[in-house]
């Protein structure tokens, strides 16, 4: 049987953020069988490029073969039933509903101009101290997404505390009722 700990240790050398590994223990989404593979689930917003890079590293190992895949999981009798459901060009899941405060490029630029208009020299020092970091942060995020061509896959989100962050429109996880779906790496022992 494939050693889950070895796979986890191999991936952790090249990918330091938190990630999970799952035994593949079903072929039909209904019946448990002896585990025959491992699924590596990297972060929810990990890019397909990074997933591909880690897959290639695993693939170069003499003991393992690896493919990008989609996994379905559901709990049956307190145990997860894990099945590979897509090996044919799996794609990240597109988020359909965005949280409040998300902005596309045009909206982010309007927000930046609004913040700058608050920053006039006649304002009190406390107001300037509050808004200057926000202007800088928002400008940096706009510049980053613009220079990388990232607006197709990202938005900017204004958080409740007034700060800004990148919001990913495509993710590696979704749930549908009691079934969870993940995009990641399917690892097997080479024959």
pLDDT in tens, 58-74: 999 999 999 999 999 99
Q: How far is CA 184 from CA 36, 51, 128, 137, in A?
A: 16, 7, 45, 31
| Extended beta strands in 17-132, E state | 20-24, 37-41, 64-76, 79-86, 93-94, 102-103
Task: Kindly state whether residues 112 and 54 are assigned to the same domain.
Answer: no
Task: Kindly state whether residues 118 and 82 are assigned to the same domain.
Answer: no
**Span 111-137, mean pLDDT?**
83
The number of domains in the chain is 2
Per-residue confidence band for 128, with pLDDT thresholds at 50, 70 and 90: confident
Task: Kindly state whether residues 138 and 177 are assigned to the same domain.
Answer: no
pLDDT digits (tens, 9 = 90+) for 176-190: 999 999 999 999 999
| Extended beta strands in 36-162, E state | 37-41, 64-76, 79-86, 93-94, 102-103, 154-158
**Span 72-82, mean pLDDT?**
94
Measured at the CA of 109, the angle between CA 104 and CA 110, to 5 degrees, comes to 100
Domain extent for 160: 102-168
Range with lowest mean pLDDT among 1-5, 31-35, 60-64:
1-5
Contacts made by residues 159-167, CB under 8 angstroms, sequence distance 24+? 159/101, 160/101, 162/130, 162/134, 163/134, 163/137, 164/134, 164/137, 164/138, 165/141, 166/141, 167/98, 167/99, 167/102
pLDDT of res. 131: 84
Task: Kindly state whether residues 87 and 157 are assigned to the same domain.
Answer: no
CA 37 to chain centre: 22
Task: Kindly state whether residues 62 and 132 are assigned to the same domain.
Answer: no
Task: Kindly state whether residues 142 and 180 are assigned to the same domain.
Answer: no
**Span 14-34, mean pLDDT?**
95
pLDDT of res. 83: 97
């Amino acid at each position: 049987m494939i050693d889950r700990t070895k796979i986890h240790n191999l991936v952790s050398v090249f990918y330091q953020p938190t990630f999970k590994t799952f035994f593949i223990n079903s072929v039909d989404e209904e019946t448990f069988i002896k585990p025959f593979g491992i699924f590596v689930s990297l972060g929810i917003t990990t890019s397909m490029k990074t997933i591909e890079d880690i897959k290639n590293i695993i693939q170069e190992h003499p003991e393992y073969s690896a493919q990008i895949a989609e996994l379905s999981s559901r709990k049956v009798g307190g145990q997860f039933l894990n099945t590979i459901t897509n090996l044919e060009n799996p794609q990240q899941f597109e988020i359909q509903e965005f949280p409040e405060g998300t902005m596309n490029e045009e909206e982010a630029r309007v927000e930046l101009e609004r913040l700058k208009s608050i920053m006039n020299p006649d304002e009190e020092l406390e107001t300037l101290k509050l808004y200057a970091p926000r202007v800088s942060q928002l400008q940096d995020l706009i510049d980053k997404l613009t220079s990388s061509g990232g607006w197709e896959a990202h938005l900017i989100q204004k958080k409740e505390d007034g700060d800004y962050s990148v919001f990913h429109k495509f993710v590696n996880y979704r749930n549908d009722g009691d079934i969870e779906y993940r995009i990641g790496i399917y690892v097997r022992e080479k024959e």
